[in-house]
Chains A and B, each alone.
Chain A
């Protein structure tokens, strides 16, 4: 049998339910792996020392890594910031309740760019995380700790959050599956708010099926989050092993400058969908460079308002503990919302955001899903984020249009460079509330190719 920490969620669940393996043995294997690699890679800020037992349920006491901007009762929650160092939330996020009620055990809390402001996990106040595929490189971010935890087999499955690329971009750079649900599909209650109009928690997993299984647990209405969808979500695992024949695929952004490295691999992926019987076409969409601007303004504006609560009075340290990036973002947002500037920046950005939504409406009349590269490049070298205050926005450019429109998307690994062991990812986007389609296409792609070596353990 394979090492227990390398099991997929599906396989682990099966072995535990058949009593071939104990969940505590799987937890122990993950804890051992954390102890072996975390000193170098720094993906966990805190973790279990010994196996713990969970409630009865589908997740069967299996160990789940959770991004450290999600409030947990069993571990501190820092958002990787000095301001919240040592903070012990007196309540837990709704998704933590759901995971625990389903029998999951929180294995530990994973590193992120401080406050999730970034795309490298270099801006964490507690040191950068390194990419487990090649430790000279960054894992991406902001959910870099969770993506690296999955890639390094230190957990069975992980939870991340995405505002614009923060699940899918690190998943692409670490060669794992990352699913960003529709905005409002998964509750935001109890998660350190970043940009409230786009924040979306979601699963980071070894396979598409694992991501669907965890999304089934996380999704659903939460009366504590007024933007959460009151409709009962469908069963997402039902979208596994479904044919994509006769469905319509639009391929986006292939003619953009700077995508030379990824372009041939996305062309190949398009060819694979064609060979599976889908109707594939190259399509035109609004230039994502404008989405960078929309996102930058809207995100900074919402950050300036959300981070106003951190005064050091009720909890945490005072505002002098904010790091450079948070200070920059709060202040730019404050500027963009000021009297005399709000029309020029904020209102214009929200209007262009509406244009992106209209553009997607037109595209989805013609296509069931849209595919593109997840990131324009492979993982960048350590230190890359220090060169530009717009590093993250450029790294996330291909995710930002769908993020500002609240759409669901998934990253699946699409290529591994044999020399560097680094990955490229495919981004599949569907209309709002159609996570089933991104799962269906992600799963079909994964099973038609050999990039995902975890499927051998499945």
Chain B
């Protein structure tokens, strides 16, 4: 089977998407990618010259609201933190992203 999708490419994408993968998963996903890309490649058969891409299809435009604070959609600090695994002094705790070395 031709391998359009290398494990190296899948590994790169996994890094971009922040998805931890085992070696076996890497292999499987590379195969699934091939299957999916095989199906979706038919789009090149359609003539799309002079066609604007459709990002929205039901015709609504420019839905705006007044620029005011809406208290009824605000969560209290307690509620906001209620589902976090790690908090400290009313803050979410995040993994370290800056390193000294």
A residues in contact (CB < 8 Å) with B = 87-91, 182-184, 197, 223-224, 226-230, 289-290, 292-294, 296-297, 304, 308, 311-317, 319-320, 322, 324, 327-328, 330-332, 334-335, 338, 345, 347-355, 357, 388-390, 393, 404-406, 432-433
Tell me the smallest distance from the CB of A384 to a CB of chain B, in Å. 16
Instruction: Give Cα distance in the complex from A264 to B75, angstroms.
Output: 55
In the complex with contacts A224-B73, A290-B42, A353-B54 CB distance below 8 A: yes
Instruction: Give Cα distance in the complex from A182 to B82, angstroms.
Output: 35
Instruction: Give Cα distance in the complex from A388 to B42, angstroms.
Output: 18
In the complex with contacts A293-B43, A313-B84, A390-B35, A304-B58 CB distance below 8 A: no
Tell me the smallest distance from the CB of A204 to a CB of chain B, in Å. 22
User: What are 27 pairs between A and B in contact, CB < 8 Å?
Assistant: A87-B83, A88-B82, A88-B83, A90-B80, A91-B75, A184-B58, A197-B55, A223-B70, A226-B63, A229-B58, A289-B42, A290-B42, A290-B43, A290-B45, A293-B40, A293-B43, A297-B43, A308-B18, A314-B84, A330-B17, A331-B19, A332-B33, A334-B17, A338-B13, A347-B53, A351-B51, A406-B58
Q: Chain A contacts of B33 at CB under 8 A?
A: 328, 331-332, 335
Of B13, B21, B41, chain A has the most CB atoms within 10 Å of the CB of B13
Interface residues of B toward A: which range? 35 or more
Query: Which chain B residues in 34-82 approach chain A with CB under 8 Å?
Result: 35-36, 39-46, 48, 51-60, 63, 65, 70, 73, 75, 79-80, 82
Query: Which chain B residues in 71-101 approach chain A with CB under 8 Å?
Result: 73, 75, 79-80, 82-86, 92-94
Tell me the smallest distance from the CB of A226 to a CB of chain B, in Å. 5
Q: Chain B contacts of A289 at CB under 8 A?
A: 42
A319 B20 Cβ-Cβ under 8 A: yes
Q: Chain A contacts of B20 at CB under 8 A?
A: 319-320
Q: Chain B contacts of A184 at CB under 8 A?
A: 58, 60
Query: Helix, strand, loop or mixed for chain B's interface?
Result: loop
B85 A312 Cβ-Cβ under 8 A: yes
A90 B83 Cβ-Cβ under 8 A: yes
Q: Chain A contacts of B45 at CB under 8 A?
A: 290
Q: Chain A contacts of B44 at CB under 8 A?
A: 348
Q: Chain B contacts of A324 at CB under 8 A?
A: 25, 28
Tell me the smallest distance from the CB of A189 to a CB of chain B, in Å. 9
**B93 closest partner in A (C-beta):** A313
Instruction: Give Cα distance in the complex from A242 to B29, angstroms.
Output: 51
Tell me the smallest distance from the CB of A317 to a CB of chain B, in Å. 8
A293 B42 Cβ-Cβ under 8 A: yes
In the complex with contacts A304-B17, A316-B83, A351-B48, A390-B92 CB distance below 8 A: no
B46 A290 Cβ-Cβ under 8 A: yes
Q: Among B19, B36, B46, which residue has its beta carbon within 8 angstroms of that of A389?
A: B36
Q: Chain A contacts of B54 at CB under 8 A?
A: 350-351, 353-354, 357
A432 B29 Cβ-Cβ under 8 A: no
B42 A432 Cβ-Cβ under 8 A: no
Give the 6 A-B residue pairs with the shortest CB-CB distance, closest first.
Answer: A350-B53, A315-B83, A354-B54, A351-B48, A90-B79, A293-B40
B58 A293 Cβ-Cβ under 8 A: no
Instruction: Give Cα distance in the complex from A405 to B63, angstroms.
Output: 19
A322 B43 Cβ-Cβ under 8 A: no
**B54 closest partner in A (C-beta):** A354
Instruction: Give Cα distance in the complex from A90 to B79, angstroms.
Output: 6
Tell me the smallest distance from the CB of B37 to a CB of chain A, in Å. 8
